[in-house]
Amino acid sequence: MSTVSPQNDGPGPHGNPKAAGSGSFEEGLRAMVVDLAPRQFAVVQVWDAGDGELDGCVAAWGTVYEDGRTQVSGADGASRLVLGSPERAVWWFGREAGVTARLVWLAAPERAAAA
């Protein structure tokens, strides 16, 4: 990836990649943000409500970063977890008997609108 500022070839001040040099500076910044954006998801719990009907709820919200590190907050705001992967959140919220958990991903970063 080329950089916006050709006189400085190193990484940004925090060690992060810098914006791409193609197009305008603003376009490069937007592209960098979209490329580096963490992915967001919900952890949904599902259970049998009787008579073959299923019920469910959002149990938690999570963010996963490029290195796999995952931060999860319970939907009630009472719990916060730092996990190694989103799949660990599924395990964590699916431990109750009769309850399964699954991930529901929010829009992928490439679909993010850059204003």
Query: Token digits for 114?
Result: 């850059």
Nearest-angstrom CA–CA distance, 54 and 50: 7
pLDDT at 75: 96
Rg (CA), the chain: 19
- pTM of this structure: 0.70
Extents of the domains making up the chain: 1-37, 38-108
Q: In this structure, is the dihedral angle defined by the CA atoms of residues 78, 80, 86 and 92, taken in order, positive or negative?
A: negative
As given in the structure block, the two tokens for residue 111 are: 């679909």
* pLDDT score of 20: 52
Task: Give the position of tokens 């916060």.
Answer: 80
As a whole number of angstroms, the distance between CA 13 and CA 6 comes to: 15
pLDDT means per 10 residues, the chain with 115 residues, are: 45 56 78 88 96 95 94 95 96 96 82 47
